[in-house]
Amino acid sequence: MSDKAAPTVAQKGLQNIVVGQSKLSLVNGTEGKLIYAGYKIEDLAEHATFEEVIFLLWNLRLPHKDELETLRRQLAVQMHLSPELISIMKRLPVKATPMAVLRTVVSALSLWDPDADVNTPDENKRKARQLTAKVPTIVAAWERIRNGKAPIDPNPDLTLAANFLYMLKGEMPNEKEVAVMDAYLVLLSEHGMNASTFSARVTTSTLSDMYSAITTAIGTLKGAAHGGANEEAMRMFFEIGSANKVEKWFEDNVKTGKKRVMGMGHRVYKALDPRAAVLNKKAKEMAEATGNMQWYDLASKLEQTARADEDFIKKNLYANVDYYSAIALYTIGIPMDQFTPLFAIARIPGWSAHVIEQWADNRLIRPDVDYVGPMDLPWVPIEKR
């Protein structure tokens, strides 16, 4: 036990603990509001491209036309992967999950960066651009490699959203798909002190480098309680099968405490997650455009069933960002186990902005823990234990 005064017992899971200040985003969980550097998420999802939001997160203001085009070009030329990196990816086991591959390849990227450990603001901005540009290519390349296909080179004339879909499917995406992808990337690019952002800031606070921080964040995002919930939500929709089976499934699984509704509930939002509201609309539009309403109708019915349940009402459990994003992504043809890597693509700008903000005013993040184990045990030699 430490020799200072006994620490106060923190809230389990650090709930409601403020760990610092940030200019990047405001998450108001009571009112269901999300603001990036002063701008409402609804406005950004409606009007901004992913590149515009990336500029906003890295500069805390919206870009002028020429600044936006410069950033788009800088990102587009950085999207290319080296033959060495592709060759590493080709040697990975094809059964490896896309999130594990992403975590490994992002970590490997640092090995070819001679300035990986130079942590000046300019160097960190360069690394932020490089990671934001290369991660979509890594995700798309892995999808092709694991299916025995050659990765497709990025097209420098496209935006990140369009390029990702192009590299994934090998054909030019239509406008609707790009618009949904852009909105998705905008909506998920930043979110206060969530678990993966916190882990990136903890890594940075030890004076470790940007690649390490982003690798840490990817590992944290992977969990089913965080970014992994979008894939789990889609698996749940498949398990249920159709809208008319929702009520029975809910009674048999959720009411009995066997399962949670994946994509519902949130540590901070005790009202509807504003991102879920926008994604609900986008998922519906996409489903209507493809003429397949099965999954949207099922999700909508499950949300209504859950929201009518007294436990869900009492505990303020609403759909979160992962709920309708699962339907939107599935409808534009993203494989289920690529949903969480897509979340990572969206969040790299936010994570990297937090890394840069942490460097600007750093202090080692090192909380305390209450020791509750035994004390003063006598030493017993190994042969006598």
Question: Which residues participate in catalysis according to the annotation?
Answer: 226, 266, 322
The beta-carbon contacts of 10-13 under 8 Å, at least 24 apart in sequence, are 10/367, 13/267
Does 275 bind ligand ACO (CB under 6 A)? Our answer is no
Print the binding letters for residues 336-375 with ligand ACO: x by CB under 6 A, - otherwise.
----------------------------------------
> What is the C-alpha to C-alpha distance for residues 314 and 311, in angstroms, rounded to an integer?
5
Q: In the range 214-233, which residues lie near ligand ACO by CB under 6 A?
A: 225-227, 229
> What is the C-alpha to C-alpha distance for residues 48 and 260, in angstroms, rounded to an integer?
34
Phi, psi angles (nearest 5°) of residue 378? -75, 140
Of the residues 61, 80, 248, 315, which one makes contact with ligand ACO according to CB under 6 A:
315
Minimal distance in Å, beta carbon 154 to ligand ACO? 27
Let me know: does 288 contact 154? Beta carbons within 8 Å. no
Q: In the range 12-51, which residues lie near ligand ACO by CB under 6 A?
A: 13
Let me know: does 53 contact 189? Beta carbons within 8 Å. yes
**Binding-site size, ligand ACO (CB under 6 A):** 19
Residue nearer to ligand ACO on the CB measure, 134 or 275: 275
Residue nearer to ligand ACO on the CB measure, 108 or 224: 224
Does 125 bind ligand ACO (CB under 6 A)? Our answer is no
Q: Is 26 helix (H, G, I), strand (E, B) or coil?
A: strand
Of the residues 75, 202, 214, 261, which one makes contact with ligand ACO according to CB under 6 A:
261
> What is the C-alpha to C-alpha distance for residues 89 and 77, in angstroms, rounded to an integer?
21
E strands present in the chain: 25-28, 33-36, 39-40
Let me know: does 168 contact 180? Beta carbons within 8 Å. no
Closest residue to ligand ACO, judged by C-beta, is 265
Residue nearer to ligand ACO on the CB measure, 127 or 347: 347
Place of tokens 């905008």: 186
Tokens of 324: 């309708």
Of the residues 125, 235, 245, 267, which one makes contact with ligand ACO according to CB under 6 A:
267
Of the residues 173, 263, 341, 350, which one makes contact with ligand ACO according to CB under 6 A:
263
Instruction: Write out the residues near ligand ACO by the rule CB under 6 A.
Output: 13, 225-227, 229, 254, 260-267, 315, 317, 320-322
